[in-house]
């Protein structure tokens, strides 16, 4: 089917190795998704990025805008891993600053100077355009026996960086109107 034959196109990403995690479950989940599903009469195309995202800030910085432009999705779902959590979290927002604090897998940070150059006049905090509380409630009531929580603490490592970058790209492309993609970050 051509992209215009789908009612909704969803881009899903997961991360690669970081710290002591050689096989990241966030990517394993994305790699198991079917290319298409139907729900309530809608045909939904799932585009799972075929490779795990490199857990390096500068790689994310170049990869994500290209993916967004290439696929022009209606919804973007980034999946990340929090090692010491035993629940699923849907993240509400991401911060612009703080990525100079934790080195990535390449042992590099995104410096304050880089942040200022890239996002100097951007908002300090960006939120998902999803109806956040409704999404969390629906997931909890969906019959899946899993601990699902809303969170507003995506952190200042790769997940927060990825989420802010995506939201900021969306804001620059479409503004906060009705047009453009909807973004969500889920921690497993």
The domains located in the chain, with CATH, are 3-187 (3.40.630.20)
Q: What is the pTM of this model?
A: 0.91
The residues pairing with 127 across neighbouring beta strands, listed in sequence order, are 93
Please state, in angstroms and rounded to a whole number, the distance separating the CA atoms of residues 128 and 184: 6
pLDDT per 10-residue tile (average), the chain, 188 residues: 77 94 95 95 95 98 95 94 90 95 96 95 91 86 84 94 94 68 84
Four-CA torsion 146, 10, 185, 132, nearest 10 degrees = -80
DSSP state of 133: H
DSSP 4: G
């Amino acid at each position: 089917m051509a992209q215009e034959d789908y009612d909704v196109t969803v881009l899903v990403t997961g991360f690669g190795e970081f710290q002591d995690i050689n096989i990241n479950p966030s990517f394993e989940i994305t790699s198991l998704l079917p290319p298409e599903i139907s729900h309530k009469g809608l045909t939904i195309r799932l585009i799972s990025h075929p490779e795990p995202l490199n857990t390096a800030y500068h790689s994310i910085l170049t990869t994500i805008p290209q993916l967004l432009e290439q696929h022009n999705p209606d919804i973007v779902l980034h999946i990340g891993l929090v090692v010491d959590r035993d629940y699923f979290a849907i993240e509400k927002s991401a911060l612009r600053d703080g990525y100079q604090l934790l080195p990535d897998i390449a042992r590099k940070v995104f410096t304050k100077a880089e942040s200022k150059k890239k996002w100097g006049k951007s908002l300090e905090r960006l939120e998902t355009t999803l109806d956040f509380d409704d999404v969390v409630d629906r997931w909890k009531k969906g019959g899946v026996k899993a601990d699902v929580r809303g969170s507003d603490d995506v952190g200042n490592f790769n997940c927060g960086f990825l989420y802010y970058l995506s939201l900021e790209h969306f804001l620059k492309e479409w503004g906060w109107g009705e047009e453009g993609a909807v973004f969500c970050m889920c921690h497993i």
